[in-house]
Amino acid sequence: MSARIVLHEADIRRALTRIAHEILESNRGAENLVLLGIPTRGVPLAQRLGVLISEIAQTAVAVGALDVTLFRDDLSKHPTRTPHRTEIPAGGVDGKTVVIVDDVLFSGRSIRAALDALQSIGRPSVVRLAILVDRGHRELPIRPDFVGKNIPSARSERVFVRLRGDDGEEFVSIEGGDE
């Protein structure tokens, strides 16, 4: 299997900085903003976005984690998924602008599950989606509001996001592709 790096650490940092500015512009500031990362890599991305937004806006931003495991429609195909902890910030999500954060958008099924999970927790006024990598091949009508990088890929390829805090190195690669 061949692998090629499509984003290096500096590229990821620039993409997150741009997304942070876009979120602030879209929301007209950081007021009533909640970032919820989807485990596993969406959580550290949401935390990093939270730090960036807090630095830019000079105010704290609520950041949490939203586990979607039990809301997925493919549990029968992948029954060994381990649930992660959902952590909703103290102020909750009711009436807030919630930005769901994930690393890679592919079919859209994880995001559909995230919307279901979020609905079980509360009622935000607005829900947005921030993605580091959009690779296409959507199976559901889901479109991100904020995208770090669009990376067209073949269905047979896999996109891997590695983050320094979790993996010791930071890059995005595409592997496979014998379609």
Instruction: Give 47-91 pLDDT, tens digit per residue.
Output: 999 999 999 999 999 999 999 998 987 766 766 667 889 999 999
Rounded to an integer, the average pLDDT of 138-163 is 95
Query: Has residue 63 been placed in a domain?
Result: yes
Query: Has residue 56 been placed in a domain?
Result: yes
Q: How many domains is the chain partitioned into structurally?
A: 1
Domain that holds residue 61: 15-25+32-74+82-153
Residue owning tokens 């991100």: 144
Residue owning tokens 């959507």: 138
Rounded to an integer, the average pLDDT of 142-152 is 96
The CA-to-CA distance between both ends of the chain, in Å, stands at 12
Please state the pTM of the whole predicted model.
0.94
Reply yes or no on whether the pLDDT at 179 is more than 70.
no
Tokens standing for 178? 């014998």
Rounded to an integer, the average pLDDT of 23-40 is 97
